[in-house]
Structure 1
Amino acid sequence: MRFLNLVHNPVVKKIIEHAGLSATRRTEHSEYEHFFRCTSGRWIYNEQEQMRIRYVSFNVDALKQLATTAARANQCVEMVKIAEGSFNKIFRLTFDNGEKLIAKIPCPLSAPPRLCTASEVATMDYARNVLGVPVPHVLRWNADADASEVGTEYILMEHVQGVELYQRKQNFGKEGRAFVDNIVDIECKFTRRRFSQIGSLYYKEDVSPALQERPLYAEGEQDGDGSDRFRIGPYVEWDIWRGKRSDIRADRGPWPDALSYIKALIDIEKKWITNFAIPRQPHDTFRCSGNDNLPDTHIRLLDDFLAVLPSILPGEDLCTPVLWHNDLHAANIFVAPEGQPDISGLIDWQGISVRPLFLAAGFASCLKYDGDERIVIPPGITSISPPPGYDSLPEEEKAYMKKQLRFAAMHKYYEIRVMQRNPPYFASQTYPNIEHIIPPIYSASRTWYEGPHHLRQMLLDLHGAWEGIAPGVPYPVSWDADEIARHREEYPKLMEYEDRIAQVVKGLQLEGDGWVTNERFDDVKRRNTKIIKNWNPKELGGPYPFQDGGPSWFLS
């Protein structure tokens, strides 16, 4: 058993801090403070809490020295934070021999950083060396903060050549199709291998002896291709670890099948609601109406969903466990700076896991068209047509529309190529009633944050589509007539309220949990204060959420 380091004892740590000494080996120089805290933007509400969960200190000099050795250089001449998100901070280090490396430091908000880091490194290795996906080469890493010279978990990887996709996509012409084919090639590699369980990838030595004995691939799959080096271990998707959920004793995988996996997600949420959900008091600005404020209401809805779950899951082929990078947006893809847009690197593998195909696979966000509403994406193998009145548009507007039509054509070409070249993925996206099956699976872990009305409506929608989903099977949920009558009266009002909130988000140009850039913060904060003063909850359908104490995706 590993004994806890004495300096992690909160009493001892406090004494040391009062003595003006360091309680860790981490660098305390104020010159590095901007590395530790979030500096890319601010939050217009709950800002202190948001900053706290993204703050991570570490020994910068130790990281530089490790990176210098990995780069076979004598000195690190520059270290710059080039990106940060809710779950990690990214640094570019430049050395006296001209080499550049990338350092990645997980934030406390991520799933247990030890598991998260170990899984990310193994997943990148597997994708690069087994699947043949263009992924940065990891040079050095440590998933044990206590044993790390840096004082936290870290990954050092090569600097990907090329430019981020968004720098080239705007000017794509015919080469846009070549890029689409590259994406489809990669996704075909994802569906080529079926795994034995649902969970996250690790090196064999990083999972328990019991898990080491289990095969990597599903029965019938050929061994080789990493089966001696990799195993499926605990799930690192953030949703089951967020907040106090990390303190819950629960089954966190791996799981043998989709039903076990989804049941475990719901079980974790039920335990969190039972042990940690605090009903809002009558005087609380953010209190839900009626029984929606009671934990028992949420537990009952989750039990109702568990009752329908076995009957709504697709067949075995669409539930097969696959690895899939589900965050292919334009900043996570690097391409050649000119000429053919060959993909030189896919980044951000943190949290990427092995999941059922119908949940894992999704439309590559870098190709999804959601631009001009006048352009319609038709179903089937059909080309994109210009909108009505296109020929009479002014030249400047027509040039804009031509570019939009090119983006829409890439969307359609991607759909067609997936249908032609990746039948398992295509089948998962076109499975009958899939639009009724997937949403409640995700909503089930968010009822306390979103309110239970969404899951209740989804269960009603499932009831309405039941004959097409599970013909001959009685719907297993009995509804309380008064509850449903109340829901049918309140739900449209709640949707109107959420639409008003969405309009505020659009008007203030807010990102997750009220985040804005530093440059816009003062102006948005001022405008938000005016909205708070003028917001009438009774007239507008509910409380104004973007004020301190309001609901938060990351803090709930």
Structure 2
Amino acid sequence: MSSLTEDHVSQHPSSQYQPNILILTPGPDLPTFISALTDVGLSRLPPASIASSLRLPSYHGTISEHKVLLEYCRAITKQMIQTTLMQTVSTPILFHPDLNSRNIFVSEEDPTVLTAILDWQSSAIQPAFWYADSTPDFARKEEVEVVAKDDRQGEAGDQGQEQKQKQDQSEYTPSSTLRAEEAFDHLIHSHLPRAMLIPLTMDEAYLRPFTYGHRSWLHGAAPFREELIQTSRRWGELGFSTVGPCAYPMPSREEYAAHWEKYKEFEARHTMKMEMQRILGVESGGWVWADMYDVTNQAQKEWFEEAIKGAVGERGERVWVSEDGERLTEAEIRDTWPFDLED
């Protein structure tokens, strides 16, 4: 399990196997770059001896399943990049992919003066569509605050009440956030090349086979398979029939039913993680400000207890039920929880 530390809160990955991070550049041409994405996905598959020792959810899939899906992904993306649209949005761009507020420093005397930008290690020259969903935290509409449920007497209780009040106030988006969003929108439309603007308005279905394949082992086979199925289903609608039929065949009714059961489990676990991220104010990378460590750690413990209480399932087991009706048993909650649990 990932740990909650003084410096940051690490999110729990889909497995305990964490290979080295690989940074890609477009190389001599787009087909080479696209093929390399599949190679990255394959390189992240653990050795069979390690995979057999991991306790993975049913939706995660076997190494063999991932290999088959990744090769289908290679074939599909090679087809997709033959279209004019995908070539238009594949202009190589040098970009900083993590321009969030924690990486931007300004002058104490004049906050309009930029003094430093950190964390350039992930920057690379990649196709413009790679950054289509990159929006810095300061330009997002949603304002997130840590919610501590602790209302007991004493310092911890006071902290909990203070954070609870902040959460109530955050139901209304501050005008400063709206101004930041509008300013960012104006900035990108005024200064970014056209090749980077088109992906911002594109249907996500065009991009998901490219952006999910190399992370298949992190997220699991079921969500990856669902992306390929949806791409295949909408192949003609998206305009890819000009390059031939989709390389990924649509599953039979029985095959899809079996897949859907596993995908629902993934959705339930993913929903719970996202709810915890929103409630605790933890960013997608797992970061939390150091001075918020104590209240965040206290809050995650209390929310775990609350989740475990939950409802009672048909077999008498305790379950967690999301707002959308997705369910997890107590054992699944423990396996999914993004922070270390005390024995």
Query: How high is the TM-score relative to the length of structure 1?
Result: 0.43
Q: Deviations over 1:98-138 (max 9, x none)?
A: xxxxxxxxxxx9x6xxxxxxxxxxxxxxxxxxxxxxxxxxx
**Residue equivalent to 2:181:** 411
Provide the rounded CA distance (Å) in 1 between the counterparts of 2:231 and 2:65. 19
Provide the rounded CA distance (Å) in 2 between the counterparts of 1:399 and 1:551. 24
SS of aligned partner of 1:479: coil
Q: Deviations over 1:167-200 (max 9, x none)?
A: xxxxxxxxxxxxxxxxxxxxxxxxxxxxxxxxxx
**Residue equivalent to 1:427:** 198
Is residue 2:288 matched to residue 1:321?
Answer: no
Are the structure 2 counterparts of residues 262 and 525 from structure 1 closer, same or farther at C-alpha, using a change threshold of 3 Å? same
Point out where structure 2 has 5 or more consecutive residues left out of the alignment: 145-167, 311-316, 321-326
**Residue equivalent to 1:453:** 222
Is residue 2:294 matched to residue 1:519?
Answer: yes
CA contact (8 A) 1:334 1:343 kept: yes
Provide the rounded CA distance (Å) in 2 between the counterparts of 1:359 and 1:506. 25
SS of aligned partner of 2:207: helix
Which range is displaced more, 516-525 or 262-271? 516-525
CA contact (8 A) 1:494 1:541 kept: no
Is residue 2:16 matched to residue 1:40?
Answer: no
Provide the rounded CA distance (Å) in 1 between the counterparts of 2:304 and 2:232. 43
Alpha-carbon offset, residue 359 of structure 1 = 1.0
The match for 1:267 among 36, 39, 54 is: 39
Q: Which has the higher contact order (CA 8 A, sep 6+)?
A: 2
Q: Provide the alpha-carbon RMSD of the alignment.
A: 4.3
CA contact (8 A) 1:322 1:360 kept: no
Is residue 2:267 matched to residue 1:300?
Answer: no
Provide the rounded CA distance (Å) in 1 between the counterparts of 2:196 and 2:262. 38
Bigger Rg over Cα: 1
Q: Deviations over 1:262-293 (max 9, x none)?
A: 31131132244263574457xx7x44327x53
Q: Deviations over 1:424-448 (max 9, x none)?
A: 3212323x43x11323323212222
Provide the rounded CA distance (Å) in 1 between the counterparts of 2:7 and 2:45. 33
Instruction: Specify which structure has the higher proportion of strand.
Output: 1
Are the structure 2 counterparts of residues 507 and 479 from structure 1 closer, same or farther at C-alpha, using a change threshold of 3 Å? same
Provide the rounded CA distance (Å) in 1 between the counterparts of 2:277 and 2:94. 34
CA contact (8 A) 1:45 1:546 kept: no
Provide the rounded CA distance (Å) in 2 between the counterparts of 1:492 and 1:258. 34
SS of aligned partner of 1:345: strand
SS of aligned partner of 2:174: helix
Query: How high is the TM-score relative to the length of structure 2?
Result: 0.65
Provide the rounded CA distance (Å) in 1 between the counterparts of 2:177 and 2:300. 35
SS of aligned partner of 1:355: strand
Alpha-carbon offset, residue 409 of structure 1 = 4.0
Pairing 1:28-427 to 2, within 5 Å after superposition: 39-41=6-8, 238=21, 240=22, 255-273=27-45, 275-276=47-48, 278-279=50-51, 286-289=55-58, 292-313=60-81, 314-338=85-109, 341-360=112-131, 363-371=134-142, 404-422=174-192, 423-427=194-198
Is residue 2:233 matched to residue 1:464?
Answer: yes
Alpha-carbon offset, residue 506 of structure 1 = 4.0
Provide the rounded CA distance (Å) in 1 between the counterparts of 2:206 and 2:213. 12
Provide the rounded CA distance (Å) in 1 between the counterparts of 2:132 and 2:181. 16
**Residue equivalent to 1:487:** 259
CA contact (8 A) 2:223 2:266 kept: no
- Aligned AA (1:523): Q
CA contact (8 A) 1:444 1:455 kept: yes
CA contact (8 A) 2:222 2:259 kept: yes
Alpha-carbon offset, residue 513 of structure 1 = 8.3
Provide the rounded CA distance (Å) in 1 between the counterparts of 2:270 and 2:213. 19
**Residue equivalent to 1:500:** 272
- Aligned AA (2:227): M
Identical amino acids, percent of aligned pairs: 18
